[in-house]
Amino acid sequence: MINILANDGISVSAIEKLNKNGFHVETTSVSEEKLADSINKNNFEVVLVRSATKIRKDIIDKCPNLKIIGRGGVGMDNIDVKYAEQNNILVINTPAASSSSVAELVFAHLFGMVRFLYASNRLMPMEGDNNFKNLKKSFSKGKELRGKTLGVIGFGRIGQEVAKRGIGLGMNILAHDKYNKEANITLNFFNGEKKTFTIETTDIKDVLKNSDFITLHVPKVDDKAIIGAEEIGMMKTGSGIINTSRGGLVDETALMFALDKEKISYAGLDVYENEPFPSIHLLMHGAISLTPHIGAATLEAQDRIGIELADQIISFFQK
């Protein structure tokens, strides 16, 4: 029997599928300091992680029987992929499974931002019973998303899912991508009808200058922020930024300064430079909508992620 350690958890449906195909799945989480010892002691040939666990060179060196490292999600920043592959370890992920969930979280932040829900949800419990009229006045300058321009930086699977939802709301879409010159975005309606829109990507400066909101869907490269002070300076005054992709893509210091100076009006963050210990200054800022890295954390996405990982594992060992 082949043993699998799902160190950051895996869906019940995936466990059931793997068990039926002769695999044993262990879901007890092991700290990174003890991970190599646990892998060797229990003869785990497969280790599955999400964003919480890092699989670096030192662990790979200590685990000669490891055959697969799986990442439940898209980005594999927490795995030394090239080194693993050089050691004949297959590295797998689930690039399509969580796209819809992340895209919907983008709009959760967008709706919350333009109607100040991030602030009103903090203040209503404290002041709603004695300061209702003033709160109503202070939160009465919301905006509609319809007719606004959404700039999508990174136009892969998730970026295109975001675009679908924006188009459905009547938003204009601007997109930038280093590799995709255009994409066909197909909306499937409740009655079976379909409508396809072709969106051509453009220069990042055009996206920054002409968008009411910017949303990021790119990997992090060389620890460099995609959105820093210079890029924020190009953006429309009063615009907003959403980052559900990778911590560090937005320079958090430049972001807070721009919010304080009202260059931009609001931000929505699901990821942070220093996870799992985000800056307290960022967390306490009154103009930021905050979530704790939950982009792919829906029941539907976790089920798809688990099944996709299970299918890849089964296929590998049945060759």
Question: What stretches of the chain show up as alpha helix (H) in DSSP?
Answer: 12-20, 32-41, 57-62, 81-86, 99-114, 117-127, 132-138, 157-168, 204-210, 229-234, 252-260, 280-283, 299-317
Neighbours of 64 (CB within 10 A): 11
Which amino acid, residue 276? P
Contacts of 10 (CB under 8 A, 6+ apart): 25, 27, 48, 72, 305, 306, 309
CA 238 to chain CA mean position, Å: 24
293 catalytically annotated:
yes
Q: How far lies 161's CA from each of 50, 148, 176, 181, 203, in Å?
A: 21, 17, 14, 16, 20
DSSP 90-137: EEEE-TTTTHHHHHHHHHHHHHHHHTTHHHHHHHHHHHTTT-HHHHHH
- Closest to 227 in 3D by CA, of 153, 284, 280: 153
Structure tokens at 13: 């449906």
Active-site residue among 165, 176, 217, 246? 246
Find the catalytic residue in 109, 157, 293, 304: 293
How many Å apart are CA 105 and CA 297, to the nearest integer?
10
Question: Do 309 and 14 touch, CB atoms closer than 8 A?
Answer: yes
The closest alpha carbon to 62, from 78, 83, 82, belongs to: 83
Clarify whether 246 is annotated catalytic.
yes
Hey, what amino acid is at 44?
F
Local structure of 213: helix, strand or coil:
strand
Catalytic residues: 246, 275, 293
